[in-house]
């Protein structure tokens, strides 16, 4: 009998499994797909030699997450970190650029540069305290109340109708709105503002890196460490009920609340089950991958040096597009999140070719192929883009939900990103990772701190499982036995 069963080999399930194995426990992982990784998979989707990240592509939290820092991920795999973390194109060949240097960013934002520096400076300076606050359960007294207050006040400003009060031009607002729109929420909103400010601060401090070789490198590092500590991974092993698992003292579930309800069935208390069934999922995404015969011909040439580009135009245009999605409509001019890895990682495509990763937001469960709309937005800001397209492949929101059971309706955030959704994830509790079933813990992105490749839901769930069931502390996670999250 294994000490621990883990269902789901996404980054959170693997993080939890690594922690349990390093604590000296026997661990078995069960993954329905033929390969580990979940949201961190890389594949040759269209043509041999062209490598595309199937879900996540850019990883700000890989350098900043407390779990990955303790795990020493940056010493286990190579990263390519562009000097320009992200950018937002505007009509007329202009662009707002977020450099890894806050001072350089502010210097290029015109009259709003000083205001932008005043907004972001304290968050960049106190990056560690901001991470500590945002990567834990919100229903607790913050360890650094002053920094939490700074972050909260800035979130309130940028998440409300006050969001333009400090700005006079359009570059800085577009830059902030582009990163806030990652949250798949209406704009402005508190959840989008908080996510955007955190990601922007990381962009100015650590950068937004690409894992060399693709996101699968992250999953490979976790799986390799697990195997080195005696863990066993079973791929192609779908689990349909908890009763079908082999006996163990602890079960960690990297599944959405709907998945937990399905796996546990009638063994869950009625009230908790109702909470899982009432859990709210967010809107989805349509993902389009491209093979190009050359780099994207941005009208603002400086965007060629940006790893990530938020396409959509001004703050007003970005907000309009996202608010259309929030109202259940497909925008004609969507917000498009673009990652261009091959200029920074030459192994992603053969010489003379490039891979381009894009998605736009759509209503939950959408079956609409948004290739034409995404291509149109890229052509708007990169004239001649269409002529470079060798091949493209779209995955609708409905198909994303089929690819990964946790992406209900194509929601890769695994839950609505609003204030309620941040607190009720999946239930209102000081320990939301712990379920009413003894020894059963939820460790997916549907638990705090929420979406993103952070490993933190796995860390939190494993911490309580070790404490509750085994009376053990979290072990050191570094390669040389050092490093505690």
* pLDDT, tens digit, 9 for 90 and up, residues 200-237: 999 999 999 999 999 999 999 999 999 999 999 999 99
In a domain, 142, yes or no: yes
d(CA 102, CA 88): 16
For residue 386, the model assigns a pLDDT of 98
From the CA atom positions of the chain, what is the Rg in Å? 21
Candidates 57, 216, 66, 182; CA nearest to 135 is 66
Which of 79-93, 142-156, 447-461 has the weakest average pLDDT? 142-156
> Do both 194 and 335 map to the same domain?
yes
Q: Please give the structure tokens belonging to residue 122.
A: 């304290």
Percent of the chain whose pLDDT exceeds 90: 89
> Do both 245 and 376 map to the same domain?
no
> Do both 258 and 391 map to the same domain?
no
Contact 288, 392 (CB under 8 A): yes
Among 377, 402, 427, identify where a domain stops: 402
d(CA 418, CA 483): 33
> Which H helix or E strand runs over 433?
none
d(CA 314, CA 322): 12
Categorize the per-residue pLDDT at 482 as very low, low, confident or very high, splitting at 50, 70 and 90.
low
Task: State the average pLDDT over residues 182-194.
Answer: 94
For residue 279, the model assigns a pLDDT of 92
> Do both 18 and 142 map to the same domain?
no
> Do both 300 and 176 map to the same domain?
yes
> Do both 180 and 313 map to the same domain?
yes
Average confidence score pLDDT of the chain = 95
Q: Looking at residue 438, what DSSP letter applies?
A: T
> Do both 291 and 251 map to the same domain?
no
For residue 17, the model assigns a pLDDT of 98
In a domain, 479, yes or no: no
In a domain, 53, yes or no: no
DSSP-derived pairing of the beta strands 250-253 and 4-7: parallel
Categorize the per-residue pLDDT at 115 as very low, low, confident or very high, splitting at 50, 70 and 90.
very high
In a domain, 49, yes or no: no
- Which residues are within 8 A (CB) of 446 and not within 5 positions of it... i.e. 6 or more apart? 256, 257, 279, 406, 414, 415, 425, 426
Q: Please give the structure tokens belonging to residue 15.
A: 């993080």
For residue 139, the model assigns a pLDDT of 63
At residue 354, φ and ψ (nearest 5 deg) are -140, 150
Q: What separation, in Å, do the N-terminal and C-terminal C-alpha atoms of the chain show? A: 28
In a domain, 221, yes or no: yes
Task: State the average pLDDT over residues 239-266.
Answer: 96
In a domain, 351, yes or no: yes
Peptide bond into 188 cis (omega under 30): yes
Among 348, 371, 402, identify where a domain stops: 402
Distances (CA, A) of 455 to 68, 245, 451: 7, 23, 10
> Do both 274 and 293 map to the same domain?
no
In a domain, 398, yes or no: yes
Count of domains in the chain? Answer: 2
In a domain, 480, yes or no: no
Show the domain range for 119. Answer: 61-67+75-210+283-402
For residue 413, the model assigns a pLDDT of 85
Check which CATH number belongs to the domain holding 107 and give it: 3.90.660
pLDDT tens digit sequence for 269-302: 999 999 999 999 999 999 999 999 999 999 999 9
**CB neighbours (10 Å) of residue 104?**
16
Flag whether pLDDT at 256 surpasses 70: yes
Q: Looking at residue 94, what DSSP letter applies?
A: E
Flag whether pLDDT at 87 surpasses 80: yes
> Do both 221 and 187 map to the same domain?
no
Check which CATH number belongs to the domain holding 245 and give it: 3.50.50.60
Let me know if 129 is exposed, middle or buried by CB neighbors in 10 A (0-12, 13-18, 19+). buried
Contact 135, 123 (CB under 8 A): no
> Do both 191 and 294 map to the same domain?
yes
Among 360, 382, 402, identify where a domain stops: 402
> Do both 122 and 198 map to the same domain?
yes
> Do both 329 and 296 map to the same domain?
yes
């Amino acid at each position: 009998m294994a000490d621990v069963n883990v269902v789901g080999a996404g980054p959170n399930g693997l993080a939890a499994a690594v922690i349990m194995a390093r604590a000296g426990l026997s661990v078995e992982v069960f993954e329905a797909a033929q390969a580990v990784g979940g949201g961190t998979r890389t594949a040759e989707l269209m043509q041999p030699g062209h490598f595309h990240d199937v879900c996540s592509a850019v990883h700000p939290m890989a350098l900043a997450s407390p779990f990955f820092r303790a795990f020493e991920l940056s010493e286990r795999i190579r990263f390519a970190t562009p000097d320009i973390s992200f950018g937002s194109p505007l009509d007329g060949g202009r662009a707002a650029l977020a450099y890894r240097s806050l001072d350089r960013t502010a210097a290029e934002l015109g009259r709003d540069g000083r205001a932008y520096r005043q907004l972001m400076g304290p968050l960049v300076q106190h990056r560690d305290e901001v991470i500590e606050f945002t990567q834990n359960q919100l229903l607790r007294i913050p360890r650094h109340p002053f920094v939490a207050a700074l972050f909260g006040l800035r979130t309130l400003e940028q998440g409300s109708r006050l969001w333009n009060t400090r700005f006079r031009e359009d570059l800085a607002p577009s830059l902030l709105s582009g990163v806030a729109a990652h949250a798949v929420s209406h704009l402005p909103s508190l959840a989008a503002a908080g996510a955007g400010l955190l990601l922007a601060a990381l962009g100015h401090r650590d950068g937004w890196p690409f894992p060399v070789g693709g996101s699968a490198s992250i999953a490979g590092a976790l799986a390799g460490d697990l195997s080195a500590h005696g863990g066993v991974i079973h791929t192609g092993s779908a689990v349909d009920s908890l009763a079908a698992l082999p006996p163990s003292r602890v079960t960690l579930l990297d599944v959405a609340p709907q998945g937990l309800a399905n796996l546990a069935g009638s063994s869950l208390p009625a009230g908790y089950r109702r909470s899982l069934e009432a859990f709210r999922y967010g809107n989805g995404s349509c993902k389009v991958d491209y093979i190009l015969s050359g780099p994207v011909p941005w009208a603002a040439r400086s965007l060629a040096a940006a790893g990530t580009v938020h396409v959509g135009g001004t703050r007003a245009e970005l907000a309009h597009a996202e608010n259309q999605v929030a109202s259940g409509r497909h925008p004609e001019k969507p917000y498009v999140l673009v990652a261009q890895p091959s200029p920074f990682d030459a192994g992603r495509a053969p010489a003379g070719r490039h891979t381009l990763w894009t998605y736009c937001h759509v209503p939950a469960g959408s079956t609409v192929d948004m290739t034409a709309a995404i291509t149109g937005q890229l052509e708007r800001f990169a004239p001649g883009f269409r002529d470079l397209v060798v091949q493209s492949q779209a995955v609708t929101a409905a198909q994303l939900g089929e690819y990964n059971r946790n992406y209900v309706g194509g929601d890769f955030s695994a839950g609505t990103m609003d204030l309620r959704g941040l607190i009720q994830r999946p239930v209102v509790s000081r320990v939301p990772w712990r379920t009413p079933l003894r020894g059963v813990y939820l460790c997916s992105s549907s638990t705090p701190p929420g979406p993103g490749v952070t490993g933190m839901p796995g860390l939190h769930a494993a911490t309580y499982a070790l404490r509750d069931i085994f009376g053990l502390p979290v072990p050191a996670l570094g390669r040389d036995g050092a490093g505690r999250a």
